[in-house]
Amino acid sequence: MNNEMIPLTVANTLDQSQKKRVEVPQNASLKQAIQDMKLAPKGQFDIYDATGSVISNSNAAAHRDSTIYVGVAKVAGGAGIEFDDDWDEGIDLDDIPIKEAHLTLIMQDGARHNINPQPRETVMQVVERAGLKPRDGSPLEVRDNHQEVVSNLIASDMIGRSFFVVPQRIPGGGKYSKRREDHPALVPQAIIDQTTVFTQPRGRLEMGGLLIGHIDHKGNNVVVCGFFPKQTEASPGYCEFDGGALAMAMDACDMANSRCGGPHTPDIQIIGWIHTHPDIGIFLSGIDIDTFGSLRANRPDGRIVAVVVDPLREEHGVFVTEKAAQLKDARPAGDKIKLSEDLEARYNKFLTRMRYFQNLKGKEALPFIMPGLLYSHRKALGDEDDILEARFQTIDILSRNSNNLHSKIIPQIQSKFNSLQNDFSKTIGEQKAEINLLRSELKKESNTLRGFQNNQLNKLIELDATLREELKKESNTLKALQNNQMKELTGQNISLREELKKESNTRSAIEQQITEISKQVEELLQLNKELITDKQRLVEETEDGSSNKALKLPVSIPAETSNAANITDAPTPAPKAMVDA
C-alpha cells in the first residue's frame, strides 16, 4: 500500500487553457510531488484547493481525484511573478511516471537520453561522458525549461529533471524571446466606479484585485467583473494579496464554463489585474511593470490587461502592455459591452460561486465582489450588494470622522486657539511697550534732527545770499565787456562795408573797360581777316600776269584801334581789394 499512486488534476492559477492528470505517491507532500514532476512555477509558489486554502504540505492521499491549483504565493503591486503555463481540468492526459535516479538530456532533434550521474559530476560532464558533444567541437550549454543555464551545476542534485542541450550563444548576440502580441482591451465604466466606491474609504492605502472577462470574436480582451481579495499588505505605495485568490477565481471560472453556455460560448477567465494609486496619479511603477510583465509572460497568449484607479483624484487608466507605462499610454474605460444570454449565464454562475466562497471564508478573506456589468441583474436576483455595503461603510467612516471631529479634534483646536489667543495678547502687550519706547527714542532723535536741519538751513541761506551778490557783480562786469566789444565790432563793420563798396565800384569800372576792349579786339580781328583776303586776291592777280606795278594800298589804322591797343598794352591796375588780399 505504501507504493499506491494517488490520481490528481494539476491546474495553474492563471492559465486555464491546459490541465494535467498525474499520479503521485500517497505519502508525498503535494509541493514536493509538484517539484519532482517539473510542474512548479519559477520562484516561490504554493498549492491551493478550490476554496483558495493553502495545501502545499498536505499528503497527496488526502486529495485523491481532486483538482489542485499551483500558483504564486503573493500577487503584489510590483513583485516579479512567473507561472507554469499548462493546466486544464477535465482532460485526462497520459500519466506521468515517477522519475528514476537519472536525469534526462534532450537534444535539438528531440532525442532524449536518460543518464545516471556520478558523484560530484556536473551536468556538462554528464553530457561529455555520454558522448553527446558535436564532432566539430562546437560549444554547448545545458539549460532547464526556464532557459536558465545549468551546465556547471552538480548533476546529482538534478535527479528526475529534464534539460535541453543547445548550442552556446554567440558573444554579442541576444537571447531570443518570442514577442508577445498586445491585444486591445474593453473595460466598462462600471468597473472603475465600483472600484472607486470600495477603495475610496480606505484613503491612501493601495489595494489590488483581479478582473474576470473573455475574448470576443474580434480578439479583444473584454473585462466584465472582478473582485478584491484580502490584502496581505496594504500601505501608501504598495499592495499585495495572496495567490489563493487566483485559485478561487480559476475554480469559479471552471465551474461556470462547464455548467453554462455552449461550445461556441467564449470561456470566462482571469483577464486582468486592477490596483489603486490613491492620490498619486495614473502610471505603472517599476513594481507594477514587473508584475504586469510576469503575468503576461506566463500566459501563452499574453492576454492580461492592467487597470490603475486613483479613487481620491477620481482618475483611471487602462494599460495593454508593460512597455508603455505612462499616463499618455493609458486609455480610458467606458466601453459599451453586450453579453449574449449564454455568456451572461456563465458570469452569473461565476459570481454565484464567488459568493459561495465569500460566505464560506468570510468577508475578511473576500471583502468585495465586483459584479461590473451585471450589477443591476445581480440585485434583481437578490444577491448581496457589496457596493451598497461599501457606500454604507463610506457613510459610517464619514460619520465616525465627523463625531471624532466634534468630540476630540474641535475641542483640541479650541484649546490650542485659546492658548494661541493668550500668547497673542501677551505678545501684543510686550509689543506695545516696545513701541512706546521706540516712539520716545524716535521723538528725541526727531528733535535732534530738526535742530541740525535748522542750523544747516541758515547756513544755506547765508551761502545763497553771498553767491547771489557775487553772481550780480560778475554779471555787471560781463555786460560792460559785452558793450565794449559790440562798439568795436560795429566800427569795424562800418569800415569793412565802406571798403567793400569801394572795391565793388572799382571792379565794376574794370569790368566795363574789359568789355570795351573785347569789342575793339573783335573789330581788329575782323579787319585783319579782310586784309588777308585782299592780299590773297592781289597775289592771285599778280600770278595771272597782271600789271607789275606795285600795288600800293593805303593802310590806315583807326584811332579807336590805336587807343584800344594802347589801352590793352597799358597795365591794368589791380583792384584794391585784391591787393589787400
Average pLDDT of the residues of the chain: 81
Last residue of a domain, one of 391, 423, 443: 391
Pair (105, 224) in one structural domain = no
Contact (Cβ atoms closer than 8 angstroms) between residue 25 and residue 3: yes
Q: Which residue has the higher pLDDT, 455 or 15?
A: 455
Residue 380, pLDDT > 80, answer: yes
Region 53-67: mean pLDDT is 84
Region 254-274: mean pLDDT is 91
Judge whether 355 lies within some domain: yes
Pair (143, 214) in one structural domain = no
What pLDDT does 167 receive?
56
Residue with cell 514532476: 37
3-state secondary structure of 131: coil
Judge whether 471 lies within some domain: no
Last residue of a domain, one of 391, 407, 437: 391
Residue 269 phi/psi, 5-degree rounding, is -160, 170
Cell numbers given for 375: 450589477
Region 470-482: mean pLDDT is 91
CA 570 to chain centre: 109
Pair (193, 258) in one structural domain = yes
Judge whether 545 lies within some domain: no
Pairing state between β 140-143 and 208-215: unpaired
Q: How far is CA 95 from CA 86, 160, 406, in A?
A: 15, 16, 69
Last residue of a domain, one of 365, 391, 417: 391
pLDDT band at 144 (very low <50, low <70, confident <90, very high): low
Number of domains making up the chain: 2
Rounded Cα gap, residues 368 and 560, in angstroms: 147
Pair (273, 132) in one structural domain = no
Pair (317, 220) in one structural domain = yes
Exposed / middle / buried, residue 251 (Cβ in 10 Å: 0-12, 13-18, 19+): buried
Pair (362, 225) in one structural domain = yes
In this prediction the pTM is: 0.51
Judge whether 95 lies within some domain: no
Pair (126, 231) in one structural domain = no
* CATH number, domain containing residue 269: 3.40.140.10
Q: Per DSSP, what are the bridge partners of residue 552?
A: none
HEC assignment per residue over 394-459: HHHHHHHHHHHHHHHHHHHHHHHHHHHHHHHHHHHHHHHHHHHHHHHHHHHHHHHHHHHHHHHHHH
Q: What percent of the chain has pLDDT over 70?
A: 81
CA Rg value for the chain:
60
Pair (146, 220) in one structural domain = no
Region 216-235: mean pLDDT is 94
pLDDT band at 62 (very low <50, low <70, confident <90, very high): confident
Residue 359, pLDDT > 90, answer: yes
Contact (Cβ atoms closer than 8 angstroms) between residue 166 and residue 140: yes
Pair (106, 242) in one structural domain = no
Judge whether 246 lies within some domain: yes
Q: Which residue has the higher pLDDT, 294 or 382?
A: 382
- pLDDT by residue (tens digit) across 305-322? 999 999 999 999 999 999
Judge whether 448 lies within some domain: no
- pLDDT by residue (tens digit) across 102-132? 888 876 444 568 888 888 889 889 888 888 8
Rounded Cα gap, residues 15 and 36, in angstroms: 21
Pair (353, 319) in one structural domain = yes
Pair (234, 354) in one structural domain = yes
What pLDDT does 578 receive?
37
Judge whether 566 lies within some domain: no
Residue 369 phi/psi, 5-degree rounding, is -100, 125
Range of the domain at 104: 100-160
Region 429-448: mean pLDDT is 90
Pair (230, 323) in one structural domain = yes
Residue 526, pLDDT > 80, answer: yes
- pLDDT by residue (tens digit) across 319-355? 999 988 899 999 999 999 999 999 999 999 999 999 9
Judge whether 85 lies within some domain: no
Residue 489, pLDDT > 60, answer: yes
Contact (Cβ atoms closer than 8 angstroms) between residue 34 and residue 41: no
